[in-house]
Amino acid sequence: MAPKATDHIHTVCATFFCPQVQTGVTLLSVPPSRHCANKQVAALLSWIDNNMISHIFSPTSAFARWLRWSLCCFSLCAMLPACSNAQQVSAQQSQAANAVPPAAQLYNEPAAQDASSKRAMKIHAVWLPLRQRLAADGLAGPQVDALLATLPKSPTQSPMGRKIRELYMRKFFPKPRSTGRASYYKGVLSETNAKTCRRFATENAAIFTWAEQKYGVPASIAVALLFVETRLGAVLGDVPENAFYTLASMAICRRKEDIVEWLPRLPKHELHADWFEATMPKRADWAYKETYALLKHMIHDQVPPEHLPGSIYGAVGLCQFMPSNIAVYGADGNGDARVDLFDLADAVASLENYLVRHGWRPGLPREKQHKVLMTYNHAAIYANTILALADMVEGKPMPSDAADVTQAHPKKRKKHVRQQQ
């Protein structure tokens, strides 16, 4: 009978006092502070095994019953604080694991900083000052970095070089004014082009009719403007670079040394260093504002850079908006909650919204129509050509002076013609 009683004491003591004992599927852990009790129980068990008389441990023995209950009580008393501490530690660990740090704290975590650094490493070094300036103006994050990472290793000198040459030659080598300036763009006013515009308007009648009902701009004016700007979408880019690359390159070209490829085309440029220092930062700041606006448009309306062929100075879409005009005058014509100026419905809605916002009204006298169109592109020949082509689309004859046209249709420009000068 004695071995059974001893085995029972061993089981109870080991279960409650050993630091780690597998009991079923639960691993019981006791803090080191309880190890002193383990030694005392082990000594007690050894003494019992070696010195107690077998009959004392008889199941019916009063001493056996007393000893079993005493050891159980002692074990429970010793374990309660340990269990309590273990529960508290477990709860604290669970709370720590599930806690979500504030956004500001998360952004400053080393892991977040490392991720930001890795994204920045994918951006070529030449664009990092632009990234820093955008971030200072509140435009930063993974989407911005991903777009900046699409830019080539080096900026293109062409847009800034072309603009500076235009301004430089006008400033220091002006051409005499022509006495026989044309009234219309060459090659635009023809019966063939008028027929093309009519057919295009008929094929997309639902779009033009909806826009005219909403904004009050005749379909003939809208289709004529699209023809002058991009030949109804057939000519969407004047240069191989997309609009993002064009504007970003201009934004970081602030010194004469940034356009060395163009200096041979600027006679006596070494004599006008002060002019370059005063002019180029202004052009670069203008381009930066357009770059900022274009990035916001790409992110908000989910437009990838490769979907943005542009003019020589970054105008985009069938209606050739500068990026800063998209957020202000862009309109959703197809109901998809986006503004995509390469979509005909959005382009027509946007150009008509622009004209209305600048004063177009049904029944507006022709002189005022001309004035409104010049806000789109500040050139009299531009407004003349659109009004004349719109008349021909409606079936009216070609203007009598159109046969004397000698001026070619220029590169695509937009409202910012005045700002670029």
* pLDDT tens-digit series, residues 376-400: 999 999 999 999 999 999 999 999 8
Looking at the fold, whether 82 and 160 belong to one and the same domain comes out as: no
In terms of Cα–Cα distance, which of 310, 278, 257, 342 is closest to 416?
A: 310
Looking at the fold, whether 262 and 400 belong to one and the same domain comes out as: yes
**Structural domain of residue 58, as residue ranges?**
2-97
The answer to the question of residue 135 being in a domain is no
In terms of Cα–Cα distance, which of 254, 151, 185, 164 is closest to 412?
A: 185
Percentage of the chain with pLDDT > 90?
62
Looking at the fold, whether 239 and 378 belong to one and the same domain comes out as: yes
b/e per residue 126-140 (b: at least 16 CB within 10 A) = ebeebbeebeeeebe
Q: Count up the domains in the chain and report the number.
A: 2
Looking at the fold, whether 307 and 396 belong to one and the same domain comes out as: yes
Looking at the fold, whether 265 and 399 belong to one and the same domain comes out as: yes
Of the residues 79, 97, 115, the one at which a domain ends: 97
With a CB cutoff of 8 Å and minimum separation 6, the contacts of 331 are 339, 346, 349, 350, 352, 353
Q: What's the pLDDT tens digit per position in 328-342?
A: 999 999 999 999 999
Looking at the fold, whether 73 and 216 belong to one and the same domain comes out as: no
At 378, is the secondary structure helix, strand, or coil?
coil
Token representation of residue 197: 């515009």
In terms of Cα–Cα distance, which of 179, 183, 219, 182 is closest to 203?
A: 219
The answer to the question of residue 91 being in a domain is yes
b/e per residue 215-245 (b: at least 16 CB within 10 A) = bebbbbbbbbbbbbbbbbbeebbbbebbbbb
Q: What's the pLDDT tens digit per position in 68-111?
A: 555 545 544 444 444 445 444 444 444 433 333 332 332 233 44
Q: What's the pLDDT tens digit per position in 38-66?
A: 555 455 545 445 554 444 445 455 555 55
Of the residues 63, 97, 131, the one at which a domain ends: 97
Contact 283, 191 (CB under 8 A): no
The answer to the question of residue 315 being in a domain is yes
Cα separations (Å) of 144 from 2, 128, 129, 304, 316?
A: 80, 12, 13, 12, 19
Looking at the fold, whether 192 and 299 belong to one and the same domain comes out as: yes
Average pLDDT of the residues of the chain: 79
